[in-house]
Amino acid sequence: MIYKVYDIVGKYAITVNGGEKLYTQIHPCLLNSETVELDFAGVEIFAPPFVNFAFGQLLKDIPAEKLNQLLEFTSLNDDGWDVIKHVMANAKRYYSDEKYRTAVDTVITDMARTF
């Protein structure tokens, strides 16, 4: 299945809501072991919140190796690649290392209480 990211989020792939929109469309396909191509033509700006919600949380229930086989990116600029690589490395560690995940969750919960 091919998804044109621009049609889903526009030229700014930056928000949590945009990432969640994309995630809800691609996640069922990936769970069914279907190949997903994401065409980023026209998308100019990328931010970690979008990437975290669109791709990072895929690692909750899809092994990284399988995800690498099923997910294909096209027309992605260098900035987009940089953000995806960084966020996915963090997400992989988060979902594969229980001690790290617990530490991160504790810090975030503690910080949230201060607001």
In the predicted structure, residue 81 carries a pLDDT above the cut 90: yes
User: Hunting for tokens 């069914």 — which residue is that?
Assistant: 32
Look at phi and psi of residue 75 and say left if phi exceeds 0, alpha if psi is from -120 to 50, else beta: left
pLDDT band for 14, please (50, 70, 90 cuts): very high
In the predicted structure, residue 23 carries a pLDDT above the cut 90: yes
SS3 of residue 19 by DSSP: helix
Sorted by where each begins, the domain ranges of the chain are 2-113
Considering the entire predicted model, what is its pTM?
0.88
Q: Are 66 and 72 in contact (CB under 8 A)?
A: no
Give the integer Cα–Cα distance in Å for 42 and 61: 30
Average pLDDT, whole number, for the chain? 94
pLDDT tens for 40-65 read 999 999 999 999 999 999 999 999 99
For 62, how many CA atoms within 13 A lie in the half-sphere containing its CB?
24
